[in-house]
Amino acid sequence: MCATPPAAGRWLVRVLAPRREREAIEGDLHERYARKARELGSRRADAWFLGQAIRSAAPLCLASASEVSAGRWVVGVVAGALITSLLPALITSVAPLETLGRPQDLVLEYLALSLPVAFAGGFSSSRLSRAFTPVTVSCLVALLYAPALVAMIGDPTVAGSDWGCLGLTVFAGCAGGMLAARRSTRTGEPVPG
């Protein structure tokens, strides 16, 4: 019988591992997993594999980030910033400016929301695979906009222009993701899966 490591763990390691060490890391985990599966059974081996993947996430992330050149970081952060550039428009369309308080609160809110996206955009577009980049960007955009979307659906006063603004934002997110994906493709990075 040939046991297979859990897909979630494999995916996490594949996505986060530095390109140069990826094959060795995946091979080591596969070899140790097969040994654990023989000795302890596949369920405990699965748990061990997932534990390894989770414990390895932070060090692998740091190792990957350290091999990215400054230029690619800049490209990624700019892409992330562009994706979130429509955030103030959406915030003001959901909650009118006068209800948000001082303008600087709006700026702070924008920065708090956009900086993690810019960082994630920088990380993903600078080193991750083309399959992962649009997924990261789309998930982050969806996560950030979910509360606003719920508020809009439940609000009968939302105008057509607000929905247009939301559509435009989603389009910008997707376009940013695809541009980043094209860039990753040009670098010849392999696609997982």
Q: Does 47 bind another protein (CB under 8 A)?
A: no
Shortest CB 123 distance to another protein, Å: 16
Shortest CB 71 distance to another protein, Å: 20
Stretch that binds another protein, among 22-30, 105-113, 141-149, 168-176 (CB under 8 A): 22-30
Phi and psi based region of residue 189 (left: phi greater than 0; alpha: psi -120 to 50; beta: remaining): beta
Shortest CB 59 distance to another protein, Å: 4
**Chosen residue from 15, 17, 37, 148 binding another protein by CB under 8 A:** 17
Q: Give the C-alpha distances (Å, rounded to integers) separating 76 from 44, 82, 119, 133, 184.
A: 39, 10, 8, 10, 11
Q: Does 8 bind another protein (CB under 8 A)?
A: no
Rounded to an integer, what distance in angstroms lies between the CA atom of residue 66 and that of residue 185?
21
Residue whose CB is less far from another protein, 18 or 88: 18
Shortest CB 69 distance to another protein, Å: 15
Rounded to an integer, what distance in angstroms lies between the CA atom of residue 140 and that of residue 143?
5
Rounded to an integer, what distance in angstroms lies between the CA atom of residue 79 and that of residue 164?
22
